A and B are shown apart, each in its own frame.
Chain A
Amino acid sequence: MFIEAKQINKVYFDKNNKPNTVLKDIDLSIQQGEFVSILGPSGCGKSTLLSMIAGLVSSTSGDIIVDGKKVIKPGKDRGMVFQQAALFPWMNVTENVMFPLRKEMSKKEGMERAQHFLKMVQLSNYPSHYPHELSGGMQQRVSIARSLAMDPAVLLMDEPFGALDEQTRSRLHGQLEEIWIDTKKTIVFVTHSISESIKLSDRIIVMGTRPGTILTDITVDIPRPREQHRQEIAALEEQIMGLLKKEIDKVIDEEQAYEAGS
């Protein structure tokens, strides 16, 4: 297995030293090249789990193995895209994309590479713009290009389109799917939108909350491009909602807030 989480537990302690179990006994395997969504209501520990794979957060117990190596700190083999684009405002678009490349290639090579990935997210006309001059959707695309530029084996995405409007989000879904097909990256995609997870992923890991556990692991075998298979999508959406009997109210609340354009 390419990414393997074994018996992951995470306990946070609050101000009064009261333990709060955020993740409990998480077992998860992801194959190379797979597009896996982690779906679950707010607060179930999706970001925590993703940050653990990134190496930004350590587990209380249990190991995460990526490509045969135990994760102990962040590394360029794992790129991460956050809900906020997190571009550095003092750098222009090209400089931002070149940030992870600084130390390993010449400036010229870095610029060519940045240009290549900006083209991939269809932003090659904005090399010298500064982040504040771009829309939210454009910023998020730069952020995706920045992660891709360091050629990670895994792309971790934490609700990358959560802050965008419906149309932009839908366009970016298409772009991301193309990028995934072109680059054959392994993508772990956190979301609390059922439809988003069905649209994009090979597999959906459904999580429940308090404590965060994996409820089910659903394989999505609807052929791509999926827009043409509305009925199957609707059926699966129904099925996931059914499976989520206990969590359903939370999920729907989330979904509505999300769909409303947050």
Chain B
Amino acid sequence: MKPAVKRIIFFAALIVFWELGSRFELWHETILPSPVSVYDSLVAGFADMTLVYDLAASFRRLLIGLVAAVIIGTGVGILLARSKTADETLGTLVLALQSVPSIVWLPLAMMWFGLGEGSIIFVVILGGTFVMILNVRTGIKNVDPLFIKAARTMGSNGLDLFIKVIMPASVPYFVTGARLAWAFAWRALMAGELLSSGPGLGYTLRYASDFGNMSLVIGVMIIIGVVGAIVDLMIFQRIEKNVLKRWGLET
């Protein structure tokens, strides 16, 4: 059986079980609304465009934050890989900061950038940057010395060697870094939106919860999960697989 078929059967069974449980009142509607009412609230949310605006707002923040994280992460990653002093000083700071969940920066960010966009984007950037830095650094440091030797015997050195050989050789790490940066940024974004003002998926989730609209809460949670899975599966894992294959690293 194809994985896709298995998956469809699994999710169908899950939804049927969930619906039956609600029908036979194994749990109360206010605790866990039925799939049908979740579906209704999602349809209503899309019909009056609130969820569309939410998605647009969330994606805008994510995109800005992720692009910034990838650019900063690449720059700092290269610096750490090339400069021993930077690695021994800034590198240690990066390692320490990486273990701090980026959402704990939100109170500070709100002091600096106010309650709106700025703070959330700041948190999203922090979410993605550190993991990007560390992957780029590792990628550049792990370039096969044989590539460098071979390139040098072919007249390449200095900047040319770095741009034509070392950078492309570390692309697999770069892609993995971007994928992890996206995953961390997405989580940071949702946390940030939960705690700030709208629009945005996270904001609508909290709003629905404040008004006891459990079916919309679950609906938004499903959107968050589905978007996360789709982007990861359809975009990043696909790129990663292609790169690993091309770079001959696939096992």
Contact = CB atoms under 8 A, between A and B. Distances in A.
A7 interface: no
Interface string A101-122: 0110000000000000000000
Contacts of B144: 86
Contact of A130 (B155, B157, B171, B246): B246
A180 interface: no
A54 B247 contact: no
Given A88-B168, A130-B246, A74 B153 contact: yes
A241 to B, nearest CB: 32
Nearest to B151: A99
Interface residues of B, number: 21
Interface string B120-150: 0000000000000000000000001011011
Contact of B152 (A56, A89, A102): A56
DSSP majority for the B interface? helix
Nearest to A100: B154
Interface in A65-106: 73-76, 78-80, 82, 84, 86, 88-90, 99-100, 102-103
A141 interface: no
A162 B247 CA distance: 23
Interface string B232-251: 00000000000001111000
B146 A86 contact: yes
A132 interface: yes
Nearest to B171: A90
Contact of B169 (A54, A84, A88, A131): A88
9 contacts: A56-B149, A73-B157, A74-B152, A82-B149, A89-B247, A89-B248, A100-B154, A103-B155, A132-B247
Interface of B: 144, 146-147, 149-157, 164-165, 168-169, 171, 245-248
Given A82-B150, A147-B153, 17 more contacts: A56-B149, A56-B153, A73-B157, A74-B155, A74-B157, A75-B155, A76-B154, A80-B150, A82-B146, A82-B149, A86-B146, A88-B165, A89-B247, A90-B169, A90-B247, A102-B164, A150-B155
